[in-house]
Amino acid sequence: MDSSEETDSKFTPDSPVRRLIATLEQRFLSSRMSQSSVVLLLGILVGLAAGCGAVAFRWLIGFFTRCFFNYGELVLGFMGHYYTIALPVIGGLIVGPMVYFYAKEAKGHGVPEVMEAMVKHAGRIRPRVAVIKSLASSVCIGSGGSVGREGPIAQIGAAVGSTLGQWLGLSEARIRTLVACGAGGGIAATFNTPIAGAFFALEIILCEWGAEAFAPVVAASVAASVIGRPAFGDHAAFQIPAHNTVAAAELPFYIILGLAAAAAGIALTVLIYWFEDRFESLPIAPYVLPATGGLLVGIIGLYHRELYGVGYGLIEEVLQGAHISVIVLFTLLVLKLLATSMTLGSGGSGGIFSPSLFVGATLGGIVGIFAQHLFPGLVETPATYAIVGMAAVFAATSHAPVCAMMFGFELTRDYRVILPLMLACGISVIISRALYRFSIYNLKLFRRGIHIELGRDAQLLNQITIGEAMTTDVVTVTPQTPVRDIAHMFDETKHHGFPVVDEQGKLHGCVTLEDVHRAGPDGLDQPVDEIATHDLVIAFPDESINDGLRKLGLRDIGRIPVVSREDHTRLLGLLTRKNIISAYNQALMRHHTHLEETETEEHFD
């Protein structure tokens, strides 16, 4: 049984939770509060929870870092300075079994798992993922794993949003919105970047910019930042020295930086999955592999301790203009690519955002040093190149240029970097897409047989409500109708089922052709109410047809009565598989027609 089925069983139509939800919905309706307002309020609640989760997760990282590096030195002091090699190994021995036995979704960098849940499971994420991801990633980072904290925070926030949506029994479209709210809120809180957090959720998690999801996602990011600012400070995540506006003569260097960032982003993407294949081919139990990767990372970290953990210390040095040679920066860039790929490829838990920033900062520092050496009177500081490089490498790995530009701007709150940011991020995304079609996120899904573009087409099912697709001209029968007459009606209409509705319009159940066959010749004179199915799967007109399709699949039935949320015995229509296929085909035709019209306009423009 998959996670979605486990969750569905807890929210049956007659459960206390569903009765509570129905009461709340009636209160919302009586207070004239629109459904969009309810989702907006829920988005704010998820944002607050994601902000609290980000604060707790950052505390966990600090706690485990002290445990491993401070107390580890006391316990393993007999090893001398070589004790640091053992720390990632010990962390891997803890993370591997934790992830393998309790939540395999917590393996890796987190965001692809959220995207998979959005495409395959209608946004449903098991509640335990938030707990296991928090512990596994904090142990991995705290023990020296060369990964970031932002991907885990996004997955933790997404799990919180999904859990709330499932607990309230919301439609799949709304659960997806709350998942995006949680992911965006987590990013916004940890970096104090509410705009970038919202764009992350819309551009990467939802993959759309619909007005319905925009307001809740933005509200969640703001709410999460309100929680994060008292904990992390109301200031930019990174400070860069004072500088003048970038001169036009410098733009060619930013073009070069964009090209180099594309190469670095592709390298990080390819290396992670190359190492994953190499580690999986080893004759070792999967839950031991993270310790193997930890050993390799420990050997690298023995000589370059800056590569342990998120690596923000080195980024700060580069941004502050510390005198670091090109050779050292290039060495750290290459070793960071290897250390991150080994950590994630072996099954460690952590994000790729911080490694992207590390690689981008060192790469930008190298380009900035060369530019300053060639034109000392023109280039004031390599720090600007470092911040642009950070955003450009992330843009190349994620294929999300708008999100990357917003991150670069909000990380420094310096408007003077916006032009080189736009130029470098645009170039890095164009080149990385041309040379390698996959982002670091959807490549993982593609390797699992999930084509994200097909998943987006499937999301059309969530954009059509059952009320739009259902049949309202429904043939019904009364509870007292003899089964014999029902059999004739089946022959005449070629239908396979009828709702059973009394004279007062109250829905009693449904009778199908299979029910008549089971009654046999001896049951033809009894009333249809005796053979009808009364334990019905019902649908509501404001749910998506994807919700309806899932309900049809749960019972393997061909039709669902559509009823009022206020009165479950009031029949509004009938949803059949034929209705769903017809509505989907129409939506698909409209979607592709719109794409063709857009391409035609672009061609003539």
- In terms of average pLDDT, the best of 89-93, 200-204, 403-407, 521-525 is 89-93
Pair 89, 294: CB distance under 8 Å: yes
Please indicate whether residue 105 or residue 267 has the higher confidence score (pLDDT): 267
Q: Which CATH class is domain 464-584?
A: alpha beta
Among 28-32, 196-200, 333-337, 380-384, the range scoring the smallest mean pLDDT is 28-32
pLDDT at 405 over 60: yes
Q: Do domains 3-237 and 248-449 have the same CATH topology?
A: yes
Output the pLDDT for position 596.
Answer: 47
- In terms of average pLDDT, the best of 158-162, 239-243, 441-445, 556-560 is 158-162
Give the C-alpha separation, 439 to 423, whole Å.
Answer: 19
Among 15-19, 125-129, 131-135, 248-252, the range scoring the smallest mean pLDDT is 15-19
Please indicate whether residue 140 or residue 443 has the higher confidence score (pLDDT): 140
Mean pLDDT of the chain: 81
DSSP, residue by residue, 34-89: -HHHHHHHHHHHHHHHHHHHHHHHHHHHHHHHIIIIIIHHHHTGGGGGGHHHHHHH
pLDDT confidence tier of residue 1, bands split at 50, 70 and 90: very low
Mean pLDDT of 341-347: 90
For the question of whether the overall pTM of this predicted structure is more than 0.75, the answer is: no
Mean pLDDT of 242-259: 80
CATH superfamily of this structure's domain 248-449: Clc chloride channel (1.10.3080.10)
Output the pLDDT for position 19.
Answer: 58
Among 239-248, 256-265, 573-582, the range scoring the smallest mean pLDDT is 239-248
Among 237-251, 334-348, 434-448, the range scoring the smallest mean pLDDT is 237-251
Please indicate whether residue 602 or residue 85 has the higher confidence score (pLDDT): 85
Which sign, positive or negative, has the C-alpha torsion 72, 74, 75, 77? positive
pLDDT confidence tier of residue 600, bands split at 50, 70 and 90: very low
Pair 92, 290: CB distance under 8 Å: yes
Mean pLDDT of 190-194: 83
pLDDT at 597 over 60: no
Percent residues over pLDDT 90 in the chain: 18
DSSP state for residue 244 in the 8-state scheme: P
Output the pLDDT for position 32.
Answer: 47
pLDDT confidence tier of residue 553, bands split at 50, 70 and 90: low
Domains of the chain, residue spans:
3-237, 248-449, 464-584
Tell me which architecture the domain covering 3-237 has in CATH: Orthogonal Bundle (1.10)
- In terms of average pLDDT, the best of 16-25, 114-123, 381-390 is 381-390
Output the pLDDT for position 604.
Answer: 40
Output the pLDDT for position 21.
Answer: 53
Cβ contacts of 483 within 8 Å, gap of 6 or more: 516, 519, 523, 524, 525, 526, 527, 528, 530, 531
pLDDT at 487 over 90: no
Output the pLDDT for position 15.
Answer: 54
Output the pLDDT for position 481.
Answer: 86
Give the C-alpha separation, 173 to 165, whole Å.
Answer: 10
**Exposure on the CB side of residue 387, measured as CA atoms within 13 A:** 33
Output the pLDDT for position 302.
Answer: 86
